[in-house]
Amino acid sequence: MTESDFQVLKEEIVSLLKTGLDRRLTYHNLEHTLDVLQQSERIAALEKLSDPRQVMLLRIAALFHDTGFLYTYKGHEEKSCEIMESYLNHGSIPNADLEVIKGMIMATKIPQSPKTLAEAIICDADLDYLGRDDFPPISNGLKQEFLVFGVIKDEKDWDPLQIGFFEKHQYFTISSRNIRQPRKMEYLSLLKTRGSNSL
């Protein structure tokens, strides 16, 4: 796929997500997809993933990784793979490459399970915000979404869930461990302090 082909595809998927996603998705929204695409490109450069084909497949995976939310909340990764194939299985991309993209999308399923460098990169891009300055507002968006979709029953369930998630989560690439992990640990400490203060 050429760069111009990718830009056409990106415009199409952006338009699809902009008009089709449930407005109550205050985390798994268009902004998140574009952020994951941007962070995938950034981490790939830091990790010296230099094969243009691999980088292109990574960018395609990032673009499609949450399109499944157009149809379902649970099991959206599998649906994202179906949507990606419906767009790309007309010979523009070899079957072997489609499988690579599917592997990347499925690696983002929690708990994350990357087996290749490209899969590690998209996993870290997907949760890059955990160690960033904009963690508080993004996290709040996820909390609101979880309340609406019944993932948590009320606000008091949120901090314990986050603490458990933080403690299980790990970054897989060296660059994310170096750049994002320290701030992530600061947030974990704050969450635990907030929890103990509210007892």
Query: To 5 degrees, how large is the angle CA 167–CA 171–CA 177?
Result: 110
Indicate whether this model's pTM tops 0.85: yes
Nearest Cα to Cα of residue 60 among 99, 114, 109: 99
- Would you write out the chain's pLDDT as a tens digit for each of its 199 residues? 899 999 999 999 999 999 999 999 999 999 999 999 999 999 999 999 989 999 999 999 999 999 999 999 999 999 999 999 999 977 779 999 999 999 999 999 999 999 999 999 999 999 999 999 999 999 999 999 999 999 999 999 999 999 999 999 999 999 999 999 999 999 999 999 986 555 3
- Alpha carbon 137 to chain centroid, angstroms: 16
Q: Are 101 and 9 in contact (CB under 8 A)?
A: no
Token pair of 92 as six digits: 């523009």
**Look-up: residue for tokens 């592997």?**
103
